[in-house]
Amino acid sequence: MPETPVSLLRAALATDATRPFTTFYDDATGERVELSVATFDNWVAKTANLLQDDLAAEPGQRVALLLPTHWQTQVWLAACWSVGLVVVPGGAPADADLVVSGPDTLDEARECAGERVALALRPMGARFAEAPEGFLDYAAEVAGHGDRFVPYVPPAADAPALDLGGRVHSAAELAAIGAEAAKDWGLGSGDRLLSTLPFTRESGLRAGLLAPLAASVPVVLCRNIERLDESALERRISTERVTRTITDSEG
């Protein structure tokens, strides 16, 4: 069977569940979050269960993902693929079966006639002080779901998983894209990737999730990094033991 992002996450969990998977910085708020493979998988499972059980999401349905560079965006991508959904990063909510929105895109997200989920994107995955009208507050609902996920219908590796600007990729193609990027960037044991790129671009998907899964290396995601001066960025690269920084030109 061909690899998929979900099978690669399963392999990482079986190999070393305690190693770091993702480290997230928001330089507008000072937030830093580090998730191990096991913790990341736990979030993915809970989110997939929320999708399948509470939102009745079914394989092949389209999800407009209106989220910035963030660790919760990684979680939602992996959870959607676990269920067999087609993720449309930055997609039109009116054309989607359900929409997942951050706090800054709620007006746009209301164009979706289906289920609407809102993320506060507050430190430590905290909920909204008051849930936006017409939306499910993700943080308020997800914690009650199980830590293991079993799909009612296992997603096929050759089924559509991503629609990026009208270009559709299967789950198997996404794993292959990640493997190719990891090879091009020379990623291997002991490496650690840093990315600031948005998940609305293939380069951001490669650097922020697909290549780290393929190479089984941690990734450091940075939001609002333009607030850092050069010396502060160099300190972060040193502190986080980053061996490869992916820029627009490299992505």
Task: Indicate the average pLDDT of the chain.
Answer: 96
Instruction: Name the token pair of 160.
Output: 């559509």
pTM, rounded to two decimals = 0.97
- Per DSSP, the chain holds a count of helices (H) and strands (E) of 9, 12
Q: 250 falls in which pLDDT band (50, 70, 90)?
A: low
Question: Does 158 score more than 60 pLDDT?
Answer: yes
Contact 1, 11 (CB under 8 A): no
Give the tens place of pLDDT for each residue, 188-247: 999 999 999 999 999 999 999 999 999 999 999 999 999 999 999 999 999 999 999 997
Domains in the chain, start-ordered, CATH in brackets? 5-246 (3.40.50.12780)
Q: Looking at per-residue confidence, does 250 or 124 come out higher?
A: 124
Please report the pLDDT score of residue 247 as a whole number.
Answer: 76
Please report the pLDDT score of residue 102 as a whole number.
Answer: 97
Cβ contacts of residue 248 below 8 Å, gap of 6+?
197, 203
Please report the pLDDT score of residue 249 as a whole number.
Answer: 55
Percent of the chain with pLDDT over 90: 96
Q: Give the whole-angstrom CA distance, residue 9 versus residue 11.
A: 5
